[in-house]
Amino acid sequence: MQALKIIIAEEVSNLEIDLQNRLTRMGFEVLALVSSPKDVLELLANKKADLVLMDTYSDLAPNGFNVAKEIQEKYDIPVVFLSGEDRKDFSKEIETFGPCVFMNKPVSDNELRANIIMATQKDSLPTKANSEAASVQSPYIFVRADYRLNKIRLTDIYYLEAKKDYVIIHTTDNVYTVHATMKDMMKVLSNSLFIRTHRSYIVNIDKVFSIKYPDLIIENKMKTIPIGGLYRKSFFEK
């Protein structure tokens, strides 16, 4: 597999050198180190990259968000922001820019690697850990939500609910909203644990409290979920 080509745009020179060394150890190819967001645009005019790792450059005009928007519109390349300031300080910029990957300095190798891989995926669909080994059932999935990659244990999932272009995952302690389809979700969930009961619902069989067709109730959540006619046979055969 070809290494991802990354451009680093960082204000502090010693930090960009550190990032370069860490990314190289992870197996990524650092295409270039630049000190300003405008330099990234000049570089992309002549070279192809897979991702830009960039400071927010909040004190410059245009700032990192302005340039990142232009990068995505011109080159369709994901931009990962790395900043010493809190994400809340950029709420207006993020609202205008849209969903993005934002990391606070200092960042660990694991967080850095995971967010780079997540950002270079063409969408936010969840992925199974160790998916290359299809014969091994992973006990968890990763989903992109709230600007980060979240690890969810399959046994913690109670049910999934479709809402237009999104799927809402209800777990023991949290709720995650993912840009995906129910068909996409069924591909990454365990066939032994999950079953689709309705065009808008997938349930964890182990979390079913009671069944009285055409409905079932999810334990603890006490959520009533419909069993659609098209899914009735497969559900009761489960």
Q: What confidence category does residue 93 fall into, taking pLDDT thresholds of 50, 70 and 90?
A: confident
Residue 132 scores a pLDDT above 80: no
Closest among 120, 111, 126 to 169, alpha carbons compared: 126
Alpha helix stretches (DSSP H) within 103-189 = 109-120, 182-188
Which range of 9-13, 155-159, 164-168 scores highest in mean pLDDT? It is: 155-159
> Taking residues 30-51, what's their average pLDDT?
92
Q: What confidence category does residue 133 fall into, taking pLDDT thresholds of 50, 70 and 90?
A: very low
Percent of the chain with pLDDT over 70: 86
Residue 105 scores a pLDDT above 70: yes
Phi first, then psi, for residue 187 (nearest 5°) are: -70, -30
Q: What confidence category does residue 95 fall into, taking pLDDT thresholds of 50, 70 and 90?
A: low
- Token pair in block for residue 20: 């370069």
| pLDDT attached to residue 121 | 64
> Taking residues 52-60, what's their average pLDDT?
86
Q: What confidence category does residue 15 fall into, taking pLDDT thresholds of 50, 70 and 90?
A: confident
Estimate the crossing angle of helix 13-25 against helix 109-120, to 10 degrees.
80
Q: Is 33 helix (H, G, I), strand (E, B) or coil?
A: strand
CATH number of 5-120: 3.40.50.2300
Question: Each residue of 42-55: pLDDT tens digit?
Answer: 999 999 999 999 99
| pLDDT attached to residue 126 | 57
| pLDDT attached to residue 16 | 84
Least confident of 76-80, 84-88, 127-131, 165-169: 127-131
Pairing relation of β-strands 215-218 and 148-153?
A: unpaired
- Token pair in block for residue 167: 């799927």
Q: Is 78 helix (H, G, I), strand (E, B) or coil?
A: coil
Domain ranges of the chain: 5-120, 127-237
| Cα–Cα distance for residue pair 198/98, rounded to 1 Å | 31
Q: Which CB contacts under 8 angstroms, 24+ apart, belong to 1-6?
A: 3/27, 3/28, 3/29, 4/28, 4/29, 4/50, 4/51, 4/116, 4/120, 5/29, 5/31, 5/48, 5/49, 5/50, 5/51, 6/30, 6/31, 6/49, 6/50, 6/51, 6/52, 6/53, 6/116
- Token pair in block for residue 211: 């069944």
Residue 11 scores a pLDDT above 50: yes
* CATH class of this structure's domain 127-237: mainly beta
